[in-house]
Amino acid sequence: MKKFLALILALAMLATVFAGCAAKPAESTAPESSAETTPDASKAPAGKDPKDMKIILICDKIGTNPFLTQMQTGLQNMKTKYGMSTSIVECADASVWEDNIRAAVQEQNDLIIVAGGQGADPVNAVASEFPDDATYVLVDVETDSPNVKSITFKEQEGAYLIGMIAGLVNKTDKFGAIHANEGQSSYKWRWGYMEGVKSVRPNAEFMFNYTNSYTDAAKAKEFALQQAAAGCGFINAASAVADFGTFEAALEKGFYTSGQDEDRTSPDNKYIITTQIKDTAVVIEKIVTEFVEGKLTMEPETYGVKENVIGALYITKDGKNPIQSEVLTDEIVAKVKEAADKIAKGEIVLEVPMEGK
């Protein structure tokens, strides 16, 4: 390509002939090019059989984290459908992310999917160094890199639906929540939950505690017991694997609660009545399918209720266990489904403000 460009410059002619050959608009020599360009399609190998493609997911340790276990399921589904080579590399600590992404490039993976915040800087660095060697996708984090497609989520939409459920089933005006951490980046969970509750219980009062961990179930249980003692009849669980501590407290004290990401209901715990859905299996399947079909662009995307990625169990997605119909009555389900439909149609718009405003 460099030889062609050199020839064009030397002869000062035929520049437009080669404009369509560039992998990305930034490499075009057309005079009208500017620094701000529209992201082009991904570099899916033209005419390559999906069975010959290599796709890798690079992420944190998976364990029982539903955000990652669902991705694992989605990737396996795509392997079954297309017959491609797939692999998953789990990063034990922050120091290995860039090395693992760099190795994925050297191993000639066609599509490199990086999940989570710790992978943001490493994938941006590697993609800048090897922009044409693979297609890079970063899930759950925004990026300004023109070489990396970012996919983020409207978690506030699912949180709003959970808040509505909480407001309709709770017998008091006191609502609790055990979340992983504070800060603007996680505010959309809290804000959405509060807005949903207040849409049906305008006099609601809220208590929030933070585990500062995604795995500390003991701390989550301790906070949940404190909130239950303070009179909270519904406690929103949003601290990943630590949510199991909140579930234990619910079973002991009899308050209602909700899970996160995937169906957390259990026949052994009638107090987990719903889950805030974040279906990352659907996300992986969408990414891979669009890549195979040559339709994956580098435009950033944000998925919500409309895309069937974000939602609430028994409202936007069926559950693995029968609904607790004596709690989530037909009337309640219908009311929350109506709200979900309005969100999908853009009739309810949930723009998260800065915290404290």
Q: How many CB atoms lie within 10 A of CB 85?
A: 15
Domains in the chain, CATH or no CATH each: 50-153+281-303 (3.40.50.2300), 155-278+317-345 (3.40.50.2300)
Q: How far is Cα 307 from Cα 242, in angstroms, rounded to an integer?
A: 28
Percent of the chain whose predicted confidence (pLDDT) is above 90: 83
Q: Contacts for 123-128 with beta carbons within 8 Å, 24 or more apart? A: 123/58, 123/97, 123/148, 124/148, 125/98, 126/98, 126/101, 126/102
Using pLDDT thresholds of 50, 70 and 90, give the confidence band for residue 42: low
More confident residue, 45 or 285: 285
Q: What is the pLDDT of residue 64?
A: 85
pLDDT, tens only, 171-192: 999 999 999 999 988 999 999 9
How far is the CA of 186 from the CAs of 179, 180, 182, 192, 356, in angstroms?
Answer: 9, 9, 6, 10, 13
- Looking at residues 112-125, what average pLDDT do you find? 97
- Whether the predicted pLDDT of 345 surpasses 50: yes
Using pLDDT thresholds of 50, 70 and 90, give the confidence band for residue 65: confident
- The answer to whether 304 touches 343, Cβ cutoff 8 Å, is yes
Q: What is the pLDDT of residue 356?
A: 79
Compute the mean pLDDT over every residue in the chain, rounded to the nearest whole number.
89
Q: What is the pLDDT of residue 18?
A: 30
pLDDT, tens only, 223-266: 999 999 999 999 999 998 899 999 999 999 999 999 999 999 99
Using pLDDT thresholds of 50, 70 and 90, give the confidence band for residue 25: very low
Q: What is the pLDDT of residue 40?
A: 57
pLDDT, tens only, 275-286: 999 999 999 999
- Looking at residues 2-24, what average pLDDT do you find? 35
- Whether the predicted pLDDT of 21 surpasses 50: no
